[in-house]
């Protein structure tokens, strides 16, 4: 049984209201499925890299935090995925749901836009 397609979301910074992406999706953190966050498959508009890339204890992915242009730390980016994480690396930008909010995008006909089942982009 496949999960239903996810809504395509416009993502905005909660601090300044800037639209940072029109390619957002609400996801659950793999390491803690009780934690929800947003992801996107492209660099958020105005994203500013913070610090140097780091690796976590249980994974060798290289992660780097990023902030909105206003300075609010919004999340992290997987700069170099490890072999296990590279399998599903279409979305590599992750935003805290405390630092961003999402609103569903709709087509010209007023229908909600949905991601394809492989998460690689909304249908044309």
Is pLDDT at 111 greater than 70 in this prediction?
A: yes
Question: 49-66: per-residue pLDDT in tens?
Answer: 999 998 877 788 899 999
**One-character DSSP codes across the chain:** -PPPPPBPEEEEETTT--EEEEEEEEEEETTEEEEEEEEESSPPTT-EEEEEEEEETTEEEEEEEEE-TTS-EEEEEEEE--TTGGGG-S--EEEETTTEEEEE-B-TTSPBPB--TTSS----
Question: 16-51: per-residue pLDDT in tens?
Answer: 999 999 999 998 877 777 888 999 989 999 999 999
Given this model, what pLDDT does residue 91 score? 82
Q: How confident is the model at residue 81 (pLDDT cuts 50, 70, 90)?
A: confident
């Amino acid at each position: 049984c496949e999960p239903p397609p996810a809504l395509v979301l416009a993502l905005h910074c909660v601090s300044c209201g800037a639209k940072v992406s029109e390619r957002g999706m609400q996801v659950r953190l793999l390491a803690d499925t009780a934690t929800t966050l947003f992801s996107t498959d492209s660099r958020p508009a105005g994203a500013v890299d913070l610090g140097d890339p780091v690796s976590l204890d249980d994974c060798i992915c290289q992660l780097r935090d990023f902030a909105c242009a206003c300075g609010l730390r919004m999340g992290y980016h997987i700069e170099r995925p490890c072999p296990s994480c590279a399998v599903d690396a279409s979305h590599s930008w992750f935003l805290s749901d405390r630092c961003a909010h999402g609103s569903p995008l709709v087509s010209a006909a007023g229908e909600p836009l949905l991601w394809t089942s492989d998460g690689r982009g909304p249908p044309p």
